[in-house]
Amino acid sequence: MAIKDIFTIVDVFDDAMPGPNAALALAAGTGAHVTGLALAMEPLAPGFLAAPIPADYIVGALEESERQAKAAAARFAAAAAAADVRAEARTQTLLAGATQPIVAQAHLSDLVVIGQENVDQPEPMRAGLIEAMLFDAGVPLLVVPNGYRATPKFGRVVIAWDGSSTAARAVHAAMPVLQMASAVEVTIVASAKSWSGEPGADVATYLARHGLEVEIRTVARDAGDVGQTLIAHLREVGADLCVMGAYGHSRLREFIIGGATRTMLDRMEVPTLMVH
């Protein structure tokens, strides 16, 4: 299925808007429509405060948050017009943690694009939104690294393959992008996993039947986790995009002992298409 409808979360505090700009660039090349949503947050008073926060302060904080969201939506609309991309700019005011109304807007899109969480310049609910989109949107998620300024290109695409169902879903979801690639590599990080047949041969055969030439490469796992090994490999081969399944283990397990998804979300250097 072609990419014709893209949903993106507009950065409120980062004027460079790496996620939305990547969405617009992708739309310019595919003829897609882009919906950009900028978020305003209702102030949430901590329960431990001895005295209530004055009402005028809450009203003022809400008005400022909505002003910032409208300004961000206007920047997005201007960028879309400059790129000659069909787009709609929206704003929405929410209580902190209320991700479902946002996820619902993404259901009927072909791709969600969002910038990586930036701990130095936090965007509203960014970490929670990324996980909510992965688990609840039912749509592929393209996460764009902080500081990413290049026009997205898909010359060399690396598929992180471990034979899991999440990796298989990621391959299916990425097919429109893979068809645009000039080189596709299936990368397997060496592990103790027992494979049935040659590692990666099954997915390579599947992709070949779709007209894609594929290179299979197994890389040695370094002292870090799989995610660190993968990031180093992506850098080494000059990858333009990584495709991977997300949270093959439970979120709790990854939170406690780490995992490839968590590492990629924290340290990614190239845009990464994720599917759970």
Helix axis angle, 18-30 to 55-82, nearest 10°: 30
The CATH code of domain 5-144 reads 3.40.50.620
Q: What tens digit of pLDDT does each residue of 151-177 get?
A: 788 899 999 999 999 999 999 999 999
Return the domain boundaries, the chain: 5-144, 156-275
Q: What tens digit of pLDDT does each residue of 236-248 get?
A: 999 999 999 998 6
Q: Does domain 156-275 have CATH number 3.40.50.620?
A: yes
Q: Which residue has the tokens 């995610």?
A: 227
HEC readout, 222-233: CCCCHHHHHHHH
- Other CB atoms within a 10 A radius of the CB of residue 276 amount to 21
Helix axis angle, 165-178 to 201-208, nearest 10°: 30
Q: What tens digit of pLDDT does each residue of 12-71 get?
A: 999 999 999 999 999 999 999 999 999 999 876 555 554 566 778 778 888 999 999 999
Q: How many residues belong to the chain?
A: 276
174 touches 139 (CB < 8 A): no
6 touches 35 (CB < 8 A): yes
245 touches 166 (CB < 8 A): yes
- Phi, psi (5° rounding) for residue 177? -75, -40
Nearest to 267 by CA among 217, 236, 229: 229
Q: What tens digit of pLDDT does each residue of 110-121 get?
A: 999 999 999 999
- Other CB atoms within a 10 A radius of the CB of residue 37 amount to 23
Q: Which residue has the tokens 């930036």?
A: 118
